[in-house]
Amino acid sequence: MTETAVASEAAAATDHGHAHQSSGHDTSTGISNNKLMMWVFLGSECLLFGALISTYMLYKERLPDGELGPSDVFDIPFTSLSSFVLLLSSLTMVLALSAISRGDYRNFRIWTLTTATLGAIFIAGQIYEFTVFYEEGLGYTTNIFGSSFYTLTGFHGVHVSFGIIMLLAIYIMHRQGRLNQDKAETVEIVGLYWHFVDIVWILIFTVVYLFPQPESVL
């Protein structure tokens, strides 16, 4: 049998099997390359956010007396609301994935846009929060609490924003007909990223906002 014949046979096989094109049947582990890439990347992100969170925790304790600190600026009820919004977006994300996996494109579009919108609401809340803190006297350069707080939550915000861009991208690709049931894996991968960002917020919300704070100086 010639190489060409073999290749065309492979092509014929791929023809009806191409729905799983990116789901990794060609790999030695049977795992999709793309999904593995995302998980490996998320493993790396753990050390990134770990460094930021430890910097924040360390500097919270080192904040000199009399400086503006967490309990002077935090508005827990407001941030709790933001946390619920982000949590809800994780649910809508899985619903979007579940919809596209069963070919329910209408619900896929609804849930994808809802997820992006919830993310945008979270970001808007963060911008509002930062503005209020700034007006209360906590700038980025005010003290080590300001620097480390804004850096940590800012990094998280940038991650959320990037997630929103990815959600819009898959929405547009779907609209163009380039992302359908057979490419549900792409949605799953974006979802992994999105849930990871949510997980990081679970950590930040507890560690930064809810852990007992030193007394207010005001």
Partner 1 sequence: MTDLAVNHDSDLHDGSHDDEHHDHPSDWFYIKIALILAFFTLIEVGTYFESVHNAPEWAMYAVLTFLMVVKFVMVGAYFMHLKYDTVMFRRVFIAGIVLAIVVYVIMFLAYNRFGFA
Partner 2 sequence: MAITEDRPLALESGEVVTKNNRPLGALTRPQSDVGWASWFTTVDHKKIGIMYGVGSLFFFLFGGVEALLIRIQLSQPGNSFLSESLYNQVFTMHGVTMVFLVIMPMAAAFANYLLPLQVGARDVAFPRLNAFSFWCWLAGAIFLNTSWFLGGAPDGGWFAYAPNTSATFAPGNGMDFYAIGLQIAGIASLVSAINLIVTVLNMRAPGMTLLKMPIFTWMMLVVQFLLLFAVPVITIALFLLTFDRSFDANFFNVAEGGSPLLWQHLFWIFGHPEVYILILPAFGIISEVIPTFSRKPIFGYPFMVGSGIAIGFMGWGVWAHHMFVSGLGPISVAAFSLSTMFIAVPTGVKILNWLATMWGGRLRFNTSMLFAVGVITMFTIGGLSGVTHAVAPSDTQQTDTYYIVAHFHYVIFGGALLGMFSGFYFWWPKVFGHKLNEKWGKINFWTMLIGFNVTFGPMHVLGLQGMARRHHSYAEADGFTVWNQVVSLGSFVIAIGVLAFLINVVVSRREAKRNPVEMGPDPWDARSLEWSTASPTPVHNFDKDPVVQYQDDWWHRKWGTNDEGTIVRIAHPEDIADDGSNTNVHLPSPSYWPLVLSFSLPIIGYAIIFSLWLLIPAGIMFLAGFVGWALEPADDPEAAHGHDDHDDHGDNHDAATVSVGAEGASVD
Residues forming contacts to partner 2 in the complex (CB under 8 A) are 3-4, 7-8, 10-12, 14-16, 18, 21-22, 24, 26-29, 31, 33-34, 36-38, 40-41, 43-45, 47-48, 51-52, 55, 58-59, 62-64, 67, 140-141, 143-144, 146-148, 151, 166, 169-170, 173, 177-180, 182-183, 186, 189-190, 193
Contact 193, 38 (CB under 8 A): yes
Instruction: Name the 3-class secondary structure at 215.
Output: coil
Q: Could you tell me which stretch among 20-28, 119-127, 140-148, 155-163 binds partner 1 (CB under 8 A)?
A: 20-28
| Min CB(80)–partner 2 separation in Å | 27
Per the rule left: phi > 0, alpha: psi between -120 and 50, beta: everything else, 115 is alpha
Going by C-beta distance under 8 Å and a sequence separation of 6 or more, which residues neighbour residue 170? 112, 179, 186, 187, 190
Shorter beta-carbon distance to partner 2: residue 183 or 198: 183
* Alpha-carbon gap, residue 37 to 20, rounded angstroms: 17
Contact 103, 187 (CB under 8 A): no
Asked if residue 216 binds partner 1 (CB under 8 A), the reply is no
Which of partner 1, partner 2, none has residue 179 at its interface (CB below 5 to 8 Å by kind)? partner 2
